[in-house]
Chains A and B, each alone.
Chain A
Amino acid sequence: MKPFQYLRPKTIAEAISMAADYPEAQYIAGGTNLVDLMKRGIASPSKLIDINHLPLKKIEHRYDRLRIGALALNSDVAKNKSVLSRQPLLAQALLAGASGQLRNMATVGGNLLQRTRCSYFYDLALPCNKRKPGSGCGAEAGVNRTHAIFFAGNGFGGNEKSSCIAVHPSDMCVALTALDTEVVINGTSGERRVPFKDFHRLSTLQPELDTNLQPGELVTAIEVTDNAFAQHSHYLKVRDRASYAFALVSVAAALQMDGGRIWDARMALGGVAHKPWRYWAIDLMLRGQAPSEKLFREVAEHEMQSAKATTQNAFKIKLTSNAIVAALKAATGIS
């Protein structure tokens, strides 16, 4: 780990101005991802701006939305009463992630900005376009069992020097993608809001960028708009062991039902793309329909038509399809 200077701003404004003054500085929240990256030499900030003391921990419901401060801990969000009653999908996704110890340290802001778990990204001795633009994607012809099946690889606008088939590792972000979420961001020129779908990026052309956050900007909160999905949401995570593993694929399903029919449907998929993957067409396909395994199978296969495997992850196409069916069954309560 490269030696660094530790800074502790007292206010949000001070934090932002520090970041503006020192382009090589990085914010640190729970440190559960950043410290690992620093240990492996992937991140080497000359200065760490510790934001843990800023007043960004609050979780509150106002008007039609739930506002969660960027420094709220993953574990606190998961057990918050408003979250549990209004957005249970978010709580489920959080609890499916990492371990109890990590969730006690990890923050909402850090979770949004955690980096991929692609092994090549973590190893300085191997090529990786995300870590070192232009060095090539190690995973594409290498070990890619856990990599992306949507919008991934050479064929999608990139070339050898710019492709990246990594997936976004977060569970929380999959749930937030399915819901109506906005990210609240502060920078030197004030506050701005970004719809969640536009916060993370696809890997095309600039795989080194995971998000559209500008250098020095601070995430201060996320806001989730109220909905009628609480009764019929389900977060399904498929993984190589029972707990404490990143998703092979995950499905966040949120449905509104009445009289045995589906009236509104949202879905996002995790572990399949460079960003949490919103299944946009699902609402059209399910609206007005009665739940059945056959219907869910059709719905699942429809989205998978555009999936494309690399060398080792073909199984993910079927697995995702099956996971969509399983999640919809669980969300609608059919067996």
Chain B
Amino acid sequence: MKRQSLDNPSDTSLSRVDGAVKVTGAATYSAEYAIPGLVHAVLVTSTIAKGSITAIDSREAEAVPGVLAVISHLNAITVPGWPAKKLPAERVAAGTALRVFYDPLIYFDGQPVAMVVAATHEQAVHAASLVRVTYQQEAHQTHFEKNIGQAGIPQNVQRAKNSPFQDYERGDASALRNADVRIEAEYTIPTQHHQPLEPHAIIAVWEAEDKLTVYDKNQGVKSAQGQLAQAFKLPRENVQVVATYIGGAFGSGIRVWPHTMAAVMAAKQLKRPVKLVLGREQMFTSVGYRPYTKQKISIGAAKDGRLAGIVHEGTGQTSMYEEHLERTVLASRALYACPHVATRYRLLPLDVNTPTWMRGPGDATGMFALESAMDELAYALKTDPLEFRLKNYAESDPERNLPWSAKSLRECYELGAEKIGWKNRLPEPRSVRRNGMLLGYGMASSLYGFHRHPSRARAVMHADGSVIVQSATMDIGPGTGTAMTRIATKVLGVNAKKVRFDLGHSALPDAPGQNGSSTIPSVGSAVHVACEALKSKLVTLAGEMSEKFRPGAEVVARNGKIFSSADDKDGLSYTDILKHHRLNELEVTEASKSGAERDQYSMYSFGCHFVEVEVDPLTGEVRVTRVVTCADVGAIINYKTARSQSIGGVVGGIGMALMEHSEMDHRFGRYVTTDFASYHIPVHADVPSIEVYYIDKPDVQANPIGSKGLGEIAIVGVAGAIANAVFHATGKRVRELPITPDKLI
């Protein structure tokens, strides 16, 4: 079933269940908990990229009224889970997360070196500006291009034979060498930052000597709980992590960062609840980023348009103390039917903080290169870029030699092409103008791996017929609670108003963090299974009340009642069932995870984006004027929130393609674009009408709900589609993002 945008009359989606509390300000975000006795912390960060601290003069800061402490490596508590400090301090080898306030060593500019804690935020801010830090500076390397010769196979990959990041090759390399038409090109993406509007924030509360609660902006309360418990050598259950509402994260909250540890350490040291909110400029060096990445693609095809070979090499930057790996080159192995494919992935350690996953990590980067190269090759072959892709459509996974669990990419292509009017596109670049502007159309494919992690959910039916469903999953924006409510209402046949879904608390049943587009596939399945189990418990109880519901009877649930499928009338309500059995509530907790199907099928989400751009021939300004995005992610759980996800992904892709760019002055190893005036993200005027379409066919192999991930595939490929449209409009191929006016005049 193909579904049209907004005005789909058959759309029965739920509006966001938490929409009202969010827009009225009633939702409590991490920094907003009113904890008695709360004090305020502000970080002081390093102004050199490499070296060590020789002195910290905090006298002036300490003299500011209200200041309680200036904490640094000189006086911080020891974290029980960290090894004893070495004297003299030694630089760590790759693989050790940065330990805050541990020793005097500086690994990157912007590293926390001290923290002021004061009675008010204003006092702490002022005092922080008075802390004088002196350094012994060492020569640093932050310039990717100048150091690329130092890139190598990541140590993690050298150690792990089965790592997907191992060099890969299939088929015969001569196929590419002998191809009729061949393209070789380099593609570069700059460092880009997540910069969610809500800055990262934490309130750390030691309820007792060995009991910790943190209200922390993150994307996984369970993993944060585990990491904090380990660091402070506490039983897991002694640590509780709360993150009920999150103002966007895009990957920046997947791990516990040094600032989180800093707040927890300060709270312990001062025996007071401590709140720390990162400043916007600190967000550039505290919570990761999409790494600067350089890629080289050699790609060739026969005259008839069949791919002969793809060699995809990628090098990303990482820090000196950790290796951050991402899927940059992996999509090239699976997206097209191509006999010869080779991929190589390298890392370049620099004196910078560690990157992290950012929406569509690796894939958004890699697909920009692959889909640009495909477009270049299509022009070189004088063939239509869409036809070229269809010609090389992979009917089964060419990497794993397995059937797809489901794949409707062809239908996505057809739908997108129809909606954008692809057939009317004139092939010649720079051949069409509209109102004086150069007009261009481009497209790109998108794919994203299927991630389903073991998850648990609890479902409770109450005597009044209301249902509470719980899981320690997260909502960083997609509307998790809404989707889960929808799953519960469908299984149990109850009105959404009767359902409450709880998330974002580590005391709830186990769930993975919100990353890798895994929430609906993983937690959605658990919620489904738990609600089914609850329903069958209710049916069993009903069976004791009425012959119709005896074991084996088929039932349908609707309006808070169950009916026998046989006659479909005189249903029994849940309230009556519980009343009859004198139960206040009925509870089940169920687990759900992947099984053998993962070895039998290859599972991916698929999609494509079609883009129309206008480029000013004199000023080189690019405006995206239309986007049609189509996805095949199995069953769509809740159309309205899914559509928002797709729109958000495209907006992120517009930012990636046209403006996002964190620039460093390498003489200092310091970012100079550290506010929203210089780090540009799309504003409303940059965002055109975005038309969203789904194939909406359940993938029955994937999981009980037939649904795959959507969050990442929404952005993967967008930058490529825009770059391709810009080429079509202008005849200029921009291989280095972002596509700013200077590159087009």
Contact = CB atoms under 8 A, between A and B. Distances in A.
Contacts of B745: 315, 318-319, 322
A236 B678 CA distance: 20
SS of B interface (majority): loop
A99 B676 CA distance: 13
A239 B621 contact: yes
A244 B672 contact: no
Contacts of A2: 126, 129
Interface residues of A, number: 37
Q: Size class of B's contact patch?
A: 35 or more
Interface string A221-243: 00000000000000010111111
A87 B307 CA distance: 61
Contacts of A335: 436
A296 to B, nearest CB: 10
B741 interface: yes
A281 interface: no
A51 interface: no
29 contacts: A1-B125, A3-B126, A99-B683, A117-B677, A119-B678, A120-B672, A123-B670, A123-B674, A126-B665, A138-B665, A143-B673, A238-B620, A240-B680, A240-B741, A241-B685, A242-B623, A242-B685, A243-B683, A245-B680, A248-B742, A315-B741, A315-B745, A318-B745, A319-B619, A322-B620, A326-B616, A326-B618, A326-B619, A335-B436
A196 interface: no
Given A126-B665, A141-B667, A319-B620, A241 B677 contact: no
Given A238-B741, A319-B745, A123 B619 contact: no
B742 A145 contact: yes
A122 interface: yes
Given A126-B670, A319-B745, A242 B663 contact: no
A236 B621 CA distance: 12
A140 to B, nearest CB: 11
A319 B742 contact: yes
A41 interface: yes
Contact of B668 (A126, A236, A316): A126
A323 interface: yes
Interface in A18-41: 41
Contacts of A119: 672-674, 678
B674 A322 contact: no
A241 B659 contact: yes
A72 B607 CA distance: 51
Interface in A105-146: 117, 119-120, 122-123, 125-126, 138, 141-143, 145
Given A117-B677, A125-B47, A241-B658, A323 B665 contact: no
Given A122-B675, A248-B742, 9 more contacts: A2-B126, A138-B665, A240-B659, A240-B680, A240-B741, A241-B658, A241-B680, A316-B742, A319-B619
Contacts of A315: 741-742, 745
A45 to B, nearest CB: 14
A277 interface: no
A241 B672 contact: no
Interface of B: 47, 122, 125-126, 129, 436, 616, 618-621, 623, 658-659, 663, 665, 667-668, 670, 672-675, 677-678, 680, 682-686, 740-742, 745
A235 to B, nearest CB: 13
A236 B686 CA distance: 17
A240 B740 contact: yes
Contacts of A141: 667
A1 B685 contact: no
A151 interface: no
A325 interface: yes
Contacts of B621: 238-239, 242
Interface string A322-334: 1101100000000
Nearest to B621: A238
Interface in A246-273: 246, 248
A53 B359 CA distance: 47
A128 to B, nearest CB: 11
A157 to B, nearest CB: 25
Given A142-B665, A241-B658, A248 B436 contact: no
A273 B563 CA distance: 78
A238 B620 CA distance: 9
Given A238-B621, A242-B685, A143 B663 contact: yes
Given A145-B742, A335-B436, A322 B618 contact: yes
Contacts of A123: 670, 672, 674
B741 A319 contact: yes
A241 B676 CA distance: 12
**Residue among A3, A143, A236 with the highest chain B CB neighbour number at 10 A:** A143
Nearest to A330: B436
Contacts of B663: 143
A143 B686 contact: no
A189 B553 CA distance: 98
B618 A325 contact: yes
A248 B683 CA distance: 17
Contact of B683 (A138, A244, A326): A244
A122 B665 CA distance: 14
B744 to A, nearest CB: 10
A323 B618 CA distance: 7
A239 B670 CA distance: 24
Contact of B619 (A122, A138, A323): A323
A123 B673 CA distance: 10
A117 B676 CA distance: 12
Contacts of B686: 241-243
B665 to A, nearest CB: 4
Contacts of B620: 238, 319, 322
Contacts of A245: 677, 680
A267 to B, nearest CB: 16
Contacts of B619: 236, 238, 319, 322-323, 326
